[in-house]
C-alpha cells in the first residue's frame, strides 16, 4: 500500500514552479506585467506564464483598483479556476481602496469577496515588490499555507453574503442572462 502523502513535497514543489497566471489585469498595475514577463525580471524562469483560459490557470493577479462591474468578472473567473488556486493582489487599491478610498465605484476590501493569499502594498508597487510577492507566494505554496481556495470553500456563505449584498441576490443568473444573448448575437454593446 503506497502512502501518497509521501509525494506531497514533490507535488507542492512542482506547483510552486509551474504557476500559470490568469491573463486578466485590472487598474494601473497591469502595466507592470510587461517588465515582469520580459528580459529584465523574466518570471518565466520560475515556470510562470500568462494563460488566457482560467480553467488552466493557478494564479490570479489582481493588479489594481476593482470596480463592482469588474468584480463580477473577477468572481466568475476565480470560480472557473480549478483548485488549488492562488490570489495575489498588487497595490493599495484592492486592499483598502487606496486613492479611491472614498469613491462610490471602487471596492475597498477585495478579501470580502474572494480570498487573497498575498497582498503587496504600495501605489504602484515596483516590479521588484511584485517579484517579492511572487517569491512569498511560492514559499506559501511549498509549505501548504496558500490556502485561500480552501477558505473560499469552507466560508462560501460569508463570501456569497458579501457578494449578494453588493450586487443583489441572483446576480449570477441575471449576469448570465445578459451575457448569453450578447455572446449569441456578437453584440459588443452588452452591458451589466
**C-alpha–C-alpha distance, residues 130 and 88, integer Å:** 9
Residues 44-63 within binding reach of ligand SF4 (CB under 6 A): none
Q: Would you give the DSSP letter of residue 52?
A: S
- Among 99, 176, 178, 183, which residue interacts with ligand SF4 (rule: CB under 6 A)? 99
**C-alpha–C-alpha distance, residues 102 and 96, integer Å:** 10
Q: Among the candidate windows 86-94, 108-116, 153-161, 179-187, which touches ligand SF4 by CB under 6 A?
A: 86-94
> Taking CB under 6 A as the rule, does residue 28 contact ligand SF4?
yes
Grid coordinates representing 33 are: 506585467
- Among 22, 24, 57, 64, which residue interacts with ligand SF4 (rule: CB under 6 A)? 64
- Among 98, 115, 133, 148, which residue interacts with ligand SF4 (rule: CB under 6 A)? 98
Size of the site for ligand SF4 (CB under 6 A): 12
Least Å distance between CB 93 and ligand SF4?
Answer: 3
Residues 132-171 within binding reach of ligand SF4 (CB under 6 A): none
Beta bridge partners of 50: 21
**C-alpha–C-alpha distance, residues 113 and 148, integer Å:** 12
CA-nearest of 50, 56, 23 to 38 is 50
Q: Is 63 or 81 the residue whose CB approaches ligand SF4 more closely?
A: 63
Beta bridge partners of 61: 88
Radius of gyration of the chain (CA): 17
**C-alpha–C-alpha distance, residues 188 and 186, integer Å:** 6
Least Å distance between CB 21 and ligand SF4?
Answer: 17
Least Å distance between CB 113 and ligand SF4?
Answer: 17
> Taking CB under 6 A as the rule, does residue 92 contact ligand SF4?
yes
Amino acid at each position: 500500500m503506497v502512502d501518497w502523502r509521501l509525494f506531497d513535497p514533490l507535488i507542492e514543489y512542482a506547483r510552486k514552479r509551474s504557476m500559470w497566471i490568469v491573463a486578466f489585469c485590472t487598474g494601473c498595475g497591469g502595466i507592470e506585467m510587461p517588465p515582469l514577463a520580459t528580459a529584465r525580471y523574466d518570471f518565466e524562469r520560475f515556470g510562470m506564464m500568462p494563460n488566457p483560459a482560467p480553467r488552466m490557470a493557478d494564479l490570479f493577479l489582481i493588479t489594481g483598483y476593482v470596480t463592482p462591474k469588474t468584480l463580477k468578472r473577477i468572481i466568475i473567473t476565480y470560480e472557473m479556476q480549478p483548485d488549488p488556486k492562488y490570489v495575489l493582489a498588487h497595490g493599495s487599491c484592492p486592499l483598502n481602496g487606496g486613492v479611491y478610498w472614498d469613491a462610490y465605484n471602487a471596492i475597498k476590501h477585495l478579501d470580502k469577496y474572494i480570498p487573497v493569499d498575498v497582498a503587496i502594498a504600495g501605489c504602484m508597487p515596483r516590479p521588484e515588490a511584485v517579484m517579492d510577492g511572487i517569491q512569498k507566494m511560492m514559499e506559501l505554496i511549498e509549505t501548504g499555507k496558500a490556502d485561500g481556495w480552501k477558505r473560499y470553500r469552507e466560508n462560501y456563505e460569508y463570501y456569497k453574503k458579501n457578494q449578494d449584498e453588493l450586487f443583489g441576490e441572483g446576480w449570477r443568473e441575471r449576469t448570465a442572462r445578459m451575457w448569453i444573448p450578447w455572446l449569441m448575437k456578437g453584440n459588443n454593446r452588452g452591458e451589466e
